[in-house]
Amino acid sequence: MLVNNAGFGSAGRYEDIAAETDHSQLMVNVVALEGLTHRLIPGMVARGHGEVVNIASTAALQPAPYFATYAAGKAFVLNFSLALWSEYRDRGIKVLAVCPGPTETGFFDVVGTRDAAVTGSMGTAADVVQASLQALARNKGYIVPRRQNFAAAHLMPRRPRTLVARIAKRVTGVVADAAGSHAHQEFPDRPVRAAE
C-alpha cells in the first residue's frame, strides 16, 4: 500500500506568496505524489494487487481564491487518482483520492493561520483515516469525509465555474490578510510533516 500523505499549503494573495514556496508546494503535493505512484504501480500490476491512497482536499473540487496553487495542485491529485482508479480497478489495484476538509494537523502551522480552515469546523486525522479505509475496502474512487464537507464540496461545483470562483472568494477572503505576513517566507528547510 502506498499512502501519499506528505503535503503543505500556501494561503494569501497570490502576488504575496514567494514563488519558491508555490514551486516547492507543487513539487511535494503533485510531482512527488505522481513520481512515487509511477514507481510503485508496476510492481502492483505484476503482483495483481495493491492499494494507492492519495490525499487531496475539498479544495480540489472548486477554485479557491487565496489558495490558488494549493487548490489547483489538489485538483490534479483528485483527477489523477480517479483516472488511475478507473484504469486499474479491474486489475486488482485500488486507487483512492481522499478529499478531507479542515483537519486538526500541523497543516495550519505551515500555512500560517488557522483562518485557513474557512469552515471553522475541524475534523480529526483518526476520522479521516477510518473513513478512508472504509472507502478503500469498497473500492471507491474518492471520498469526502464528514457530512458537512461532502455537502459543501458537492453543492458548489454544479454551478458555473466563474460563479463558484466568485463565491469562493467571499468565503476564503479572510485568509488574504491573515496569511499576509506568513506568505513572504520561503518554505523552511525541514522535513514536510504537515498533512491535510
Which are the catalytic amino acids?
70
DSSP state of 65: T
For residues 142 and 98, the answer to whether their CB atoms sit within 8 Å is: yes
Q: Residue 51: helix, strand or coil by DSSP?
A: strand
From residue 144, how far is each of 59, 98, 123, 169, 189 by CA, in Å?
11, 6, 12, 21, 31
Edge to edge, the sheet with strand 50-55 lists 2-4, 50-55, 93-98, 142-143
Q: Residue 123: helix, strand or coil by DSSP?
A: strand
Listed in sequence order, the DSSP H helices in the chain are 19-26, 33-47, 68-88, 107-111, 125-137, 147-155, 161-178, 180-183
